[in-house]
């Protein structure tokens, strides 16, 4: 199959693309390197059946030309500003990089008659729900970050295009996805900070923030499983694990993995129940819909975090990531 992957130099995409190529798909990746890393993409550029295009997805004309030329059978739409705090500083960033980009992708699909889209959404769309674990049909949903608001808008655009133009869609609302090739996130940040200063680590909030962390292999397995098994025009799933891990636990395990004497380092908390405005401090997602479909993750949240810490420490040990 011919597949377009947006955000192709990012964390999820650079873990996805090798498996698509290994099974013989022809992959066309697009990225502007805002969060994506050239070093992550470089090994893929030598692969057969992979073509990369460096441009901004806000360029609708160029995107339409790409789709009309390639005629893809499916889009994996993974491009987004996944750094929620950044969108708080620049209030139009998620509007442009999330909502308008998604409109452009859908419009290019409509014009090229591309029939399928797989979309990476987020459990952040639920905001701070009164029902936990939170099921997919919870509502009304009131997101508390501009990132999450954009994801809600993107989902709405996708469902509207699905209805009007017969585009089959799969929407996955993630827990926190972790693994090799990170571009940001708590594990990425802790490793960098501790490498720079192994005597002190600043932790946003009070450290009790607790979320389900999903290992990238489980995430991609789940997305591909859902895409194959669920055949409605619009398919929406929470993709998460049943346990949660706190920020303090992540800090302690990172210190241990980096071989730092625990007695020689001070943990400094900024205070408050959340890391930043828009941060959902406690997340529990109901995973029964994916379970009923026949899929379960192999790793728990704790196992995913510990494995990722090892991945990232080893990756960073080999040099800085550009």
Q: What is the CATH number of the domain that holds 122?
A: 3.40.50.720
Q: Please tell me the predicted confidence (pLDDT) of residue 89.
A: 78
Same-domain check for residues 128 and 93:
yes
253 is a domain residue: yes
229 is a domain residue: yes
6 is a domain residue: yes
Same-domain check for residues 115 and 255:
no
Same-domain check for residues 121 and 204:
no
Q: Please tell me the predicted confidence (pLDDT) of residue 35.
A: 83
Same-domain check for residues 305 and 163:
no
CATH classification at residue 185: 3.90.25.10
Top pLDDT among 322 and 85 is at 85
258 is a domain residue: yes
pLDDT tens digits for 267-308?
Answer: 999 999 999 888 999 999 999 999 999 999 999 999 999 999
Q: In the chain, pLDDT over 70 holds for what percent of residues? A: 98
pLDDT at 114 over 80: yes
Q: What does the DSSP 8-state code read for residue 71?
A: -
Among 239, 255, 290, the domain-final residue is 239
Q: Please tell me the predicted confidence (pLDDT) of residue 322.
A: 45
Half-sphere exposure of 174 (CA within 13 A, CB side): 23
Average per-residue pLDDT for the chain: 95
Same-domain check for residues 158 and 233:
yes
Residue span of the structural domain in which 275 resides: 179-211+243-281+299-317
Strands 234-239 and 176-178: unpaired
Number of domains within the chain: 2
Average the pLDDT over 236-250 and give the result. Answer: 98
Output b/e per residue, 239-250; b: 16+ Cβ within 10 A. bbbbebbbbbbb
288 is a domain residue: no
Same-domain check for residues 118 and 57:
yes
Contact 2, 72 (CB under 8 A): yes
Under 8 Å CB-to-CB from 79, ≥6 apart: which residues? 6, 7, 10, 30, 31, 57, 97, 101, 105
Tokens 């509502």 -> residue: 139
Half-sphere exposure of 157 (CA within 13 A, CB side): 23
Same-domain check for residues 166 and 257:
no
Which residue pairs from 252-257 have beta carbons closer than 8 angstroms and sit at least 24 positions apart in sequence? Answer: 253/305, 253/306, 253/309, 254/187, 254/190, 254/191, 254/194, 254/309, 254/313, 255/194, 255/201, 257/306, 257/309, 257/310, 257/313
Rounded distance, CA 254 to CA 208, Å?
16
Q: Please tell me the predicted confidence (pLDDT) of residue 316.
A: 82
Calculated CA dihedral for residues 50, 13, 60, 73, nearest 10 degrees: 60
Same-domain check for residues 28 and 38:
yes
Rounded distance, CA 141 to CA 84, Å?
18
- Which is nearest to 281 in space by CA: 213, 215, 207? 207
Same-domain check for residues 14 and 136:
yes
112 is a domain residue: yes
Contact 35, 184 (CB under 8 A): yes
Same-domain check for residues 7 and 135:
yes
Under 8 Å CB-to-CB from 124, ≥6 apart: which residues? 84, 143, 145, 147, 148, 151, 280, 283
51 is a domain residue: yes
pTM: 0.94
Same-domain check for residues 68 and 11:
yes
294 is a domain residue: no
Contact 308, 215 (CB under 8 A): yes
Same-domain check for residues 74 and 89:
yes
Tokens 């491009």 -> residue: 79
Average the pLDDT over 59-84 and give the result. Answer: 94
């Amino acid at each position: 199959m011919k597949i377009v992957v947006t955000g192709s130099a990012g964390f999820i995409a650079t873990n996805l693309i090798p498996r698509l190529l290994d099974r013989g798909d022809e992959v066309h990746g697009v990225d502007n390197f805002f969060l994506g890393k050239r070093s992550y993409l470089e090994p893929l550029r030598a692969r057969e059946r992979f073509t990369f295009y460096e441009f901004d997805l806000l360029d609708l004309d160029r995107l339409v030309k790409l789709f009309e030329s390639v005629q893809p059978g499916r889009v994996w739409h993974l491009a987004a500003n996944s750094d929620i705090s950044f969108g708080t500083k620049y209030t139009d960033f998620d509007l442009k990089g999330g909502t308008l980009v998604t409109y452009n992708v859908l419009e290019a699909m409509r014009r090229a008659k591309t029939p399928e889209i797989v979309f990476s959404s987020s459990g952040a769309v639920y905001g701070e729900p009164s029902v936990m674990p939170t099921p997919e049909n919870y509502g009304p949903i009131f997101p508390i970050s501009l990132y999450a608001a954009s994801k809600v808008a993107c989902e709405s655009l996708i469902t509207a295009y699905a209805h009007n133009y017969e585009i089959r869609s799969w929407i996955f609302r993630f827990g926190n996805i972790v693994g090799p090739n990170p571009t940001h996130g708590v594990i990425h940040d802790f490793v960098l900070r501790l490498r720079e200063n192994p005597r002190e680590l600043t932790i946003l909030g009070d450290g009790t923030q607790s979320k389900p962390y999903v290992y990238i292999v489980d995430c991609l397995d789940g997305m591909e499983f859902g895409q194959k098994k669920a055949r409605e025009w619009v398919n929406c799933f929470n993709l998460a694990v049943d346990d949660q891990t706190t920020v303090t636990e992540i800090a302690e395990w990172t210190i241990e993995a980096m071989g730092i004497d625990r007695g020689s380092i001070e943990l400094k908390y900024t205070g408050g129940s959340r890391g930043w405005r828009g941060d959902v401090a406690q997340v529990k997602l109901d995973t029964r819909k994916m379970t009923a479909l026949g899929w379960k993750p192999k790793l728990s949240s704790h196992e995913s975090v510990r494995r990722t810490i090892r991945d990232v420490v080893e990756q960073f040990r080999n040099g800085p990531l550009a």
